[in-house]
């Protein structure tokens, strides 16, 4: 059996991070099993579906590196892959069900249905369709349709329970009586979601359905339809919901939920996928940081987690930082440099300096754009307002350090140096310790205060050799 899985988004907006996660799980599973991953566009909601969103979602999937083997843009032997282009197929499959007496035209009007519902409520009856049109003969319905009367197609529900084995949830049972005869085709010939999904998954030979838990209840109607068609039921895995820290379903009010926004914020696609992969699945070697696309056969369906996954942007940022740091420094430089304004002095520095700077600061970078803030310490002549800085400047030892360093920097300037070296810096600090007899906090805080005008920051022996001598001279008032 060739594994065939699908991601079936509705093109009603940009790709949601939950959708990206579903798409990734399907693609990784297909890859691990040597199967096929299909993209199907579920655009039967004609009011909300737009072609521009289909295009955008395909672009977003591409940005993430999730590519499909079959789909509306690449074709395939089970097409068309847009539901709006499959209406003739739904009609044929719905006719099949009518033929087998598993479905029937229903002529009840909205007003009649509302009245039935109110009647059921008043009499404590289950709020399900009462089956009126089930009993209309074939000939009578044909005549009514021929006269132009509008009809939906309803599925004739059997009175029995249904169950199935879910890859994540385990054994799931739906007791009988949960649903009444439900609509599968609207009067305008547009199929209802549950019907279209079963027709498509059957005719596209889908073997495994990996989708979000919110679809678990739909599985009941889908099982009924598979049974009526006599089609093989795919293996279902309903992966846990993404929720916010307030345990509510992830929505816009929790922050950015569309992949596009993460792209705009400069997240690395591998990092976003890595984080999403961990929300509902765990790595067999307990790894937290990895590139999902390299999982190969390590990806399987046994490691899905049952509980809802809390979306935590801090963890995502941490993982992004891990992916940024894993890149070669040359690549970090190329990307980070793009985020620095054109007139910034960073751009005037030579390649060697830039690479050394990245080496020093990359440990503090979660994002490429973090570099701008980090290099500030190499160029600014601003003075900190921090109380600790003011205290250090006020110590009686600090003016002595300043005097000494002023002399050293002046000599370096006379010698036409542009930077001092780590060795120079080490000599300075040895001198302050040995000759000026200043040790411990007064030594390192004093040197930092004098040389950077700050109370805190990265190790001086790394940042002082990267600070242009003219900046040090300005700070020390030469
Ligand atoms: N179109 C559905 C959605 O966007 C997909 C449902 C399914 O995977 O069966 O949620």
Gap from CA of 215 to ligand 1 centroid (Å)? 7
- Residue the block writes with tokens 């019907």: 195
Closest CA to 265 of 256, 277, 278: 256
Ligand 1 atom nearest 22 alpha carbon: 8
Query: Atom 4 in ligand 1: which residue has the minimum CA distance?
Result: 9
Q: What pLDDT does residue 477 have?
A: 87
Spatial separation of the C-alpha atoms in residues 368 and 370, rounded to whole Å: 5
Gap from CA of 326 to ligand 1 centroid (Å)? 35
Query: Atom 3 in ligand 1: which residue has the minimum CA distance?
Result: 9
Gap from CA of 8 to ligand 1 centroid (Å)? 5
Q: What pLDDT does residue 478 have?
A: 65
Query: Which residues are near ligand 1 (CB < 6 Å)?
Result: 8-10, 42, 197, 211, 215
Mutate to test the pocket of ligand 1, among 11, 12, 197 (most ligand atoms within 8 A of CB): 197
Q: What is the pLDDT of residues 155-196, one digit of tens each?
A: 999 999 999 999 999 999 999 989 999 999 999 999 999 999
Domains and CATH numbers, the chain: 252-325 (1.10.1160.10), 327-369 (no CATH), 380-476 (1.10.10)
Spatial separation of the C-alpha atoms in residues 398 and 400, rounded to whole Å: 5
Q: What is the pLDDT of residues 15-53, one digit of tens each?
A: 999 999 999 999 999 999 999 999 999 999 999 999 999
Over residues 87-100, mean pLDDT? 97
When the pLDDT of each residue in the chain is averaged and rounded to a whole number, the result is 96
Gap from CA of 205 to ligand 1 centroid (Å)? 17
Q: What is the pLDDT of residues 201-225, one digit of tens each?
A: 999 999 999 999 999 999 999 999 9
Spatial separation of the C-alpha atoms in residues 39 and 74, rounded to whole Å: 10
Spatial separation of the C-alpha atoms in residues 30 and 2, rounded to whole Å: 9
Q: What is the pLDDT of residues 430-441, one digit of tens each?
A: 999 999 999 999
Q: Is 252 a catalytic residue?
A: yes
Ligand 1 atom nearest 7 alpha carbon: 8
CB 362 within 8 A of CB 332: yes
Q: Is the pLDDT of residue 126 over 90?
A: no
Catalytic residue chosen out of the listed positions 122, 147, 252, 477 = 252
């Amino acid at each position: 059996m060739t594994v065939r899985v699908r991601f079936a988004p509705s093109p009603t907006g940009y790709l949601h991070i939950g959708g990206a996660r579903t798409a990734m799980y399907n693609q990784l599973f297909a890859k691990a099993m040597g199967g096929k991953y299909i993209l199907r566009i579920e655009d039967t909601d004609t009011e909300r579906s737009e072609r521009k969103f289909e295009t955008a979602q395909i672009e977003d999937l591409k940005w993430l590196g999730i590519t499909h083997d079959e789909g509306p843009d690449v074709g395939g032997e089970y097409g068309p892959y847009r539901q709006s282009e499959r209406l003739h197929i739904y009609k044929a499959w719905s006719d099949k069900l009518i033929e087998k007496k598993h479905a029937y035209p229903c002529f009840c009007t909205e007003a009649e249905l509302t009245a039935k519902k109110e009647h059921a409520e008043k009499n404590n009856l289950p709020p399900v369709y009462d089956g009126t049109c089930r009993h209309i003969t074939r000939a009578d319905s044909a005549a009514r349709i021929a006269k132009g009367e509008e009809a939906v197609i309803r599925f004739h529900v059997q009175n029995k329970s249904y169950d199935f084995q879910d890859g994540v949830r385990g054994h799931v049972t739906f007791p009988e009586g949960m649903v009444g005869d439900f609509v599968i085709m609207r009067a305008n010939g547009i199929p209802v979601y549950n019907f279209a999904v079963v027709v498509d998954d059957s005719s596209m030979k889908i073997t495994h359905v990996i989708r979000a838990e919110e679809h678990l209840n739909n599985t009941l109607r889908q099982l009924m339809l598979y049974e009526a068609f006599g089609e093989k039921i795919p293996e279902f895995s309903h992966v846990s919901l993404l929720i916010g820290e307030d345990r509510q379903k992830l929505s816009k009010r929790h922050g950015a939920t569309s992949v596009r926004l993460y792209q705009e914020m400069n997240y690395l696609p591998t990092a976003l996928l890595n984080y999403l992969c961990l929300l509902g699945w765990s790595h067999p070697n307990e790894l937290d940081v990895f590139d999902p696309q390299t999982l190969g056969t390590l990806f399987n369906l046994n490691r899905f987690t049952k509980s809802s996954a809390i979306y935590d942007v801090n963890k995502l940022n941490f993982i992004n930082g891990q992916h940024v740091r894993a890149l070669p420094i040359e690549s970090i430089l190329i990307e980070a440099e793009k985020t620095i304004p054109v007139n910034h002095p960073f751009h005037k520095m030579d390649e060697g300096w830039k690479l050394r700077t990245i080496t020093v600061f990359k440990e503090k970078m979660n994002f490429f754009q973090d570099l701008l803030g980090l290099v500030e310490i190499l160029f600014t002549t601003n003075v900190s307002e921090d109380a600790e800085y003011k205290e250090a400047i006020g110590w009686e030892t600090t003016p002595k350090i300043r005097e000494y360093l002023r002399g050293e920097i002046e000599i370096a300037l006379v010698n036409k140096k542009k930077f001092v070296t780590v060795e120079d810096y080490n000599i300075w600090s040895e001198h302050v310790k040995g000759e000026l007899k200043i040790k411990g906090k007064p030594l390192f805080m004093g040197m930092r205060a004098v040389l950077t005008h700050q109370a805190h920051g990265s190790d001086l022996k790394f940042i002082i050799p990267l600070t242009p001598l003219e900046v040090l001279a300005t700070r020390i008032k030469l």
